[in-house]
Amino acid sequence: MNPKIFEPNSELEDFVKCYWTLESSFENTPTRNTIVPDGTVKLIFHYGDLYWHHPKSGKSFLQPRCFLIGQLTKPYIVEPAGETGTFVIRFNPNGFSPFTNIPIKEMENKPIALKELFGEKGKKLEQEILDAKNTSQRINIAEKFLLELLKSKEVKDRIVNSTIETIVKYKGQLSVNELSNQASLSRRILARKFSSNVGLSPKQLSKIVRLQATLKSLLQNEKTNLTDLTYENEYFDQSHFIKDFKEFTGITPKEFYGEDLKMSLIFDSKK
């Protein structure tokens, strides 16, 4: 299993965080993978076999071959149905909003077909990506499509963009009051802007960014002691840390090691 990450064209770097690919035989892919919320919206193209999604409640189902997955607010459990061949366009937290007329908030925790997002253009994009012979071709096709869409779209909200940069810089450790003061906006107005541009509230995104930083510490074996992790990432206490951890992973920190930990950070393996 060897995920690879590619940088976007400079014209798209404000919108696209990276392109990501994974190719793996069925035998070399963990049976079930827990994908933890990371604050990004993703367009996913399975040119290999499909993946099952196992929701916490309800029946398991095969994911579409090509789809968008909106902001995640809970663990998303998937399982390969065969050989993996996946190409992903991973957007910055507020990077996808200029490309759609569908409210970002309505995309939360669910796969959406490309035709529903982009009409016949989405269907054409899907076929071109699947027919491409390599990652370079897939990236060229994706960037041409996205740049065409940008010609008729508004630019991103500068206040939201600045606030996201602050959240990432401080690893999600600032309070919503501190963020709203820096933006010179009320909490309510800032939350409304985030809802329409990001699909998450400032508080939700901050919690996700902070948890991702904590998971990276675990993966890199920087910290294994819960007390150290709690205070290094400025959680109020261990119960606060464990509560947030379970909200986004479904299990406790002590249970979250091995393949679960590796797969949870697969999109951020080099970022």
Rounded to the nearest integer, the mean pLDDT of the chain is 88
State the pLDDT at residue 142: 98
Is residue 22's pLDDT more than 70? yes
Is residue 35's pLDDT more than 70? yes
Q: Where are the domains of the chain?
A: 4-150, 158-268
User: Which pLDDT band, with edges at 50, 70 and 90, does 74 fall under?
Assistant: very high
Is residue 222's pLDDT more than 60? no
Which of 117, 92, 103, 91 has the alpha carbon at shortest distance from 199? Answer: 103
Which of 26, 131, 147 has the alpha carbon at shortest distance from 98? Answer: 147
Is residue 164's pLDDT more than 90? yes
Work out the widest C-alpha separation in the chain, in whole angstroms: 53
Query: Model confidence over 173-202: pLDDT tens digits?
Result: 999 999 999 999 999 999 999 999 999 999
User: Which pLDDT band, with edges at 50, 70 and 90, does 252 fall under?
Assistant: confident
Query: Model confidence over 105-144: pLDDT tens digits?
Result: 999 998 999 999 999 999 999 999 999 999 999 999 999 9
Using DSSP's 3-state secondary structure scheme, residue 257 falls into coil
Under CATH, which architecture does the 4-150 domain have? Sandwich (2.60)
Question: What is the CATH topology of the domain spanning 158-268?
Answer: Arc Repressor Mutant, subunit A (1.10.10)
Query: Model confidence over 198-213: pLDDT tens digits?
Result: 999 999 999 999 999 8
The pair of structure tokens assigned to 203 is 């508080």
Residue in this structure with the two tokens 């269907």, named with its chain if needed: 123
State the pLDDT at residue 32: 79
Percent of the chain with pLDDT strictly greater than 90: 63
Distance CA 190, CA 176 (A): 9
CA 44 to chain centre: 11
Which of 39, 98, 101 has the alpha carbon at shortest distance from 70? Answer: 39
State the pLDDT at residue 33: 82
- Prediction pTM value: 0.86
State the pLDDT at residue 271: 43
State the pLDDT at residue 270: 46
Q: What contacts 195, CB < 8 A, 6 or more positions away?
A: 104, 105, 201
Phi-psi domain of 6 (left: phi exceeds 0; alpha: psi -120 through 50; beta: other): beta
Domains 4-150 and 158-268 equal at CATH topology level: no
